Amino acid sequence: MLQAAAKTLSVATTTSVSRGILLSIRHYCKKTPATLRVSEAVSGAELGANVKVQGWVRSVRAQKSHLFLHVNDGSSLQSLQVVASSALNDPLLTFGSAVEVTGTLKKSPNQKQPVELEAEQIHIVGECNPLEFPFKIKERHGLEYIRQFPHLRCRTNAFSSLLRIRSEATTAVHLYFKENGFLQIHTPVITSNDCEGAGELFKIEPSGYEEEEHFFSVPAFLTVSGQLHLELMSGAFSKVYTFGPTFRAENSQSRRHLAEFYMVEAEVSFAQSLEDLTKVMEGMFRSATEHVFAHCAEDVDLFHKHVTPGHREIVEAMLKNRFPTITYSEAIDILNRSSENFAFPTDWGCDLQTEHEKYLVKHCGNIPVFVTDYPYDLKPFYARDNQDHPEHTAAAVDLLVPGVGELCGGSLREERLDLLRARLQQAGLEDTYSWYLDLRRFGSVPHGGFGMGFERYLQCILGVDNIKDVIPFPRFSHSCVL
Amino acid sequence: MLQAAAKTLSVATTTSVSRGILLSIRHYCKKTPATLRVSEAVSGAELGANVKVQGWVRSVRAQKSHLFLHVNDGSSLQSLQVVASSALNDPLLTFGSAVEVTGTLKKSPNQKQPVELEAEQIHIVGECNPLEFPFKIKERHGLEYIRQFPHLRCRTNAFSSLLRIRSEATTAVHLYFKENGFLQIHTPVITSNDCEGAGELFKIEPSGYEEEEHFFSVPAFLTVSGQLHLELMSGAFSKVYTFGPTFRAENSQSRRHLAEFYMVEAEVSFAQSLEDLTKVMEGMFRSATEHVFAHCAEDVDLFHKHVTPGHREIVEAMLKNRFPTITYSEAIDILNRSSENFAFPTDWGCDLQTEHEKYLVKHCGNIPVFVTDYPYDLKPFYARDNQDHPEHTAAAVDLLVPGVGELCGGSLREERLDLLRARLQQAGLEDTYSWYLDLRRFGSVPHGGFGMGFERYLQCILGVDNIKDVIPFPRFSHSCVL
């Protein structure tokens, strides 16, 4: 115990910003208080205990005889109320400063905060000049304002809630797949696949590399999708998924696009119909959303009450109803029967635009809706040919959701060697994809899969308008800060 | 049910490679068998049930009256034994072909496989020409051989075991951090940080981009570490971690290096000493390893019995003992006292080389060992100055493990604004890292963290010699296949 006390003391003396009240070795040797996280302290489980809490000051109120602080350490949205004699006040106890408080956990007379920490010692670990700190005490800063300070915005309530939600949603996605027997595959970021539209690919080489030959001997790119790599795995595992960063070099600064974003992708072997995919998409959406709402209730509430009021009801309606399925042809009929003036054409064969997707979602009751069986010519080489006539379609499906538009896209994959080879030949890609054809040569099975934009998912359940506000480090054209 | 039967029939007829026995609608309408995964079927929970199993043939044995198959679907290392009348045999039932078998689960007379499927129908979903398929029935192919077929190697026992272990180890890492109150942060892949040694960075631009200005307005690189981004988060959350791909443009084809590899990184606020970090490293190592050994026992056994015999005992010794800690200065003493002829110098101030690390691990009993307090001048700008004399050290720590050498590296970070600024000024980096200095201006706290190479971790617990054999898609100089 002497050692622990000496250590604490030594940090206090060697920290250049340290001030405030130093702990006496004598007091420490008597009893070393347990260090609790704020979430543990406010839970009430340790009432009466002598504890130490470490965190950052979220509010300061000095009265004649007493000093009130709120201390937060990111373990939950809630801060711990600290009550101290005003003798412990210090001008350096400001919004944003880091403190270490020892004292006793007591029942609070305050209904909203049932627990408070009666402080015996307050040690200021790191000061925070309120004139220079961009966030001000008691002010509710908008998401757009805090976005200007990417290295500090995690210190606001709204963005720390977002990060807890994002972390929990990540857990929820993994949990859903784990519970449903999917194997997680780390698909590569660097790939030599280049055919998905060269304009949107990032290419990579070593910095300062001047050699004529490529570092990887072939041109190498950042992945736009792990699908083909997952398909390869689905020749040995009947259910696989991947969840990681994907990239598009789109010259766009819109509220909907990022150069680096996270995608959840799954592939199901022996899938017989699009229903085998839509039930996974719907299951994942429901399961993840219920998990997040249950495990991050306060954080989600912050968004639904203060950032995007009214959004809670929209999400609840989504969860209450089964997601309907319409075919692309039915969608076109709906659009053509509507009295809306669309900017883009709605003829059979045209791609659905965001305006169309939003109309379809509204038309179906403002809940998520699956659109299936798109025109064959709109879809990439791997989409399974429905071989229907006269309207030639592919077994592809999109999930459209309120506010966001397209959340997921998927398809059955062409598992028939002859049809796939013919299509690749036509596109002049047979050699490039000889490995992909091999998958159909050896133990080929009907299979399909989908991808979901993880940021769009977060936007959808929280109602956040700008995709830059749901990712810790947004990257887009002309912006790669930090 | 009619619909289900019709669907199955239609897949059977439209699959170009389909052959074998077609299901009759009449039979199907009587009773639709439940589809089971192989792991469920072999568990014995469904004995007596009429079921359907889908997977790939791992062995075929035809006797006079009976046909025996082993069918695997990746859900476990175990295959399901299928017993059928030899009337159901078909020349297309070969190693690697995909099948759908319906029948009844029975108790097997065979001790090793307590359950077998008595087949009523065998439908060949996808054939596999044994002359063209690179893996041969009943042959145990070495890791080096199967590495030549990156798109097919997941179909071998060894690599499918590896992928299940990798997936489960990923789960175990997330679980450890979750249970210990860490928040997961998605640190970015694309970053504008460039100072960690320009020669090893990959730079990125859009493919075919000809403009003079950079896409991101600044030079952009693939991340070599999420540490600085995590440190930013540790100003609001007391425990954070990240787990994702990191990159080094090293021109190396060694057994130890990849251009793209996975790293687990954690950052702990209010860390007072290196012990606050080493207990997390050791806790994670033990917890993940015990989890993987418990949840992937058969797969781990495959490695420990057939790929790297004798390795089990090495890992068990690691888990049985606390990891010792020695200082760098003690390590230098040990090396200098040894009778070994090292290729590299062992003077105080020299970096430890792999040969030194391996010797130290052996010296400590062939278990993992922490080496702390490295010479200050060997460490990057963010390492915390121990301010000791005459041997000037930094509060940095490496975890060295048997077979692999360095598994983890970490340090306390310099949280003192004046010291950090002086060091950045000296290096001419004050402007580049003004945001990083800001973290010390506003509520700075003592903190530290570490990174663990995930592939090296897998090598360490499995005894796999070549890093390319523990990642699904290895990328290294001159190689970016698929």
Check A183 against B74: CB less than 8 A apart: yes
Residue of B nearest to A228 (CA): B482
Q: Among A151, A153, A194, which would you mutate to test the B interface (most chain B Cβ atoms within 10 Å of its Cβ)? A: A151
A264 interaction partners in chain B (CB closer than 8 Å):
none
A57 interaction partners in chain B (CB closer than 8 Å):
443
- B205 DSSP 8-state letter: E
Give the C-alpha separation, B441 to B446, whole Å: 13
Pick from A11, A217, A472: CB nearest B272: A11
A192 interaction partners in chain B (CB closer than 8 Å):
480-482
Give the C-alpha separation, B246 to A15, whole Å: 33
Q: Among B207, B291, B414, B433, which would you mutate to test the A interface (most chain A Cβ atoms within 10 Å of its Cβ)? A: B207
Q: Are A219 and A203 in contact (CB under 8 A)?
A: yes
Q: Is B247 on the interface with A (CB under 8 A)?
A: yes
Average pLDDT over residues A17-42: 64
Q: Are A201 and B195 in contact (CB under 8 A)?
A: no
- A 10 A CB-CB count for B139 gives 10
How much of chain A, in percent, has pLDDT values that exceed 70? Answer: 93
Sheet holding B202-206, edge to edge: A190-191, A221-222, A202-206, B202-206, B221-222, B190-191
Check A203 against B204: CB less than 8 A apart: yes
pLDDT tens for chain B, residues 1 to 482:
333 333 332 333 333 333 333 444 334 445 689 999 999 999 999 999 999 999 999 999 999 999 999 999 999 999 999 999 999 999 999 999 999 999 999 999 877 788 999 999 999 999 999 999 999 988 889 999 999 999 999 999 999 999 999 999 999 999 999 999 999 999 999 999 876 554 589 999 998 877 789 999 999 999 999 999 999 999 999 999 999 999 999 888 889 899 999 999 999 999 999 999 999 999 999 999 999 999 999 999 999 999 999 999 999 999 999 999 999 999 999 999 999 999 999 999 999 999 999 999 999 999 999 999 999 999 999 999 999 999 999 999 999 999 999 999 999 999 999 999 999 999 999 999 999 999 999 999 999 999 999 999 999 999 999 999 999 999 999 999 99
Interface of A with B in 62-101 (CB under 8 A): 73-75, 96-98, 100
Half-sphere exposure of B247 (CA within 13 A, CB side): 25
Q: Is A276 on the interface with B (CB under 8 A)?
A: no
Check A229 against B11: CB less than 8 A apart: no
Nearest C-alpha of chain B: how many angstroms from A401?
24
pLDDT (0 to 100) of residue A254 = 85
Nearest C-alpha of chain A: how many angstroms from B444?
5
Residue B414: which of B264, B228, B265, B183 has the closest Cα? B228
pLDDT (0 to 100) of residue A407 = 97
Give the C-alpha separation, B76 to B72, whole Å: 8
Average pLDDT over residues A210-216: 87
Distance of CA A226 to the CA centre of its chain: 18
Nearest C-alpha of chain A: how many angstroms from B335?
30
Nearest C-alpha of chain B: how many angstroms from A435?
7
Average pLDDT over residues A57-66: 95
B7 interaction partners in chain A (CB closer than 8 Å):
272-273
Nearest C-alpha of chain A: how many angstroms from B337?
31
Nearest C-alpha of chain B: how many angstroms from A80?
14
Average pLDDT over residues A199-207: 88
Single pTM value for the model: 0.93
Could you give the 3-state DSSP secondary structure of residue A181? Answer: coil
Check A199 against B206: CB less than 8 A apart: yes
Residue of A nearest to B129 (CA): A442
How much of chain A, in percent, has pLDDT values that exceed 90? Answer: 85
Residue A195 binned pLDDT confidence (cut-offs 50, 70, 90): low
Choose the weakest-confidence range: A30-34, A46-50, B254-258. A30-34
pLDDT (0 to 100) of residue A197 = 52
Classify residue B223 as left (phi > 0), alpha (psi -120 to 50) or beta. Answer: beta
Q: Among B60, B127, B151, B299, which would you mutate to test the A interface (most chain A Cβ atoms within 10 Å of its Cβ)? A: B151
Q: Is B115 on the interface with A (CB under 8 A)?
A: no
- B236 DSSP 8-state letter: T
Nearest C-alpha of chain B: how many angstroms from A271?
10
Check B207 against A127: CB less than 8 A apart: no
Interface of B with A in 426-455 (CB under 8 A): 435-436, 438-446
> What is the bridge-based pairing of β-strands A50-62 and A34-36?
parallel
- In this predicted structure, the answer to whether residue A477 has a pLDDT above a threshold of 80 is yes
pLDDT in tens, A226-267: 999 999 999 999 999 999 999 999 888 889 899 999 999 999
pLDDT (0 to 100) of residue B236 = 98
Pick from B174, B207, B218: CB nearest A203: B207
Q: Among A204, A234, A296, A421, which would you mutate to test the B interface (most chain B Cβ atoms within 10 Å of its Cβ)? A: A204
To the nearest whole number, what is the mean pLDDT of chain A? 91
Nearest C-alpha of chain B: how many angstroms from A243?
10
Q: Are B374 and B330 in contact (CB under 8 A)?
A: no
Check A475 against B216: CB less than 8 A apart: yes
Beta bridge partners of A225: none
pLDDT (0 to 100) of residue B20 = 36
pLDDT (0 to 100) of residue B196 = 56
Residue A81 binned pLDDT confidence (cut-offs 50, 70, 90): very high
Classify residue A16 as left (phi > 0), alpha (psi -120 to 50) or beta. Answer: alpha
Q: Is B220 on the interface with A (CB under 8 A)?
A: yes
pLDDT in tens, A436-466: 999 999 999 999 999 999 999 999 999 999 9
Check B15 against A222: CB less than 8 A apart: no
| Better-predicted residue by pLDDT, A343 or A139 | A343
Pick from B202, B244, B475: CB nearest A207: B202
pLDDT (0 to 100) of residue B28 = 45
* Complex ipTM value: 0.93
Pick from B17, B193, B205: CB nearest A203: B205
Q: Which residues contact B305 (CB under 8 A, 6 or more apart)?
A: none
Q: Is A184 on the interface with B (CB under 8 A)?
A: yes
Check B245 against A186: CB less than 8 A apart: yes
Pick from B56, B125, B259: CB nearest A236: B56
A457 interaction partners in chain B (CB closer than 8 Å):
none
Residue A196 binned pLDDT confidence (cut-offs 50, 70, 90): low
Could you give the 3-state DSSP secondary structure of residue A5? Answer: helix
Burial A55-67 (b: 16+ CB within 10 A, else e): bbbbebeeeeeeb
Residue of B nearest to A235 (CA): B155
Residue of A nearest to B163 (CA): A185
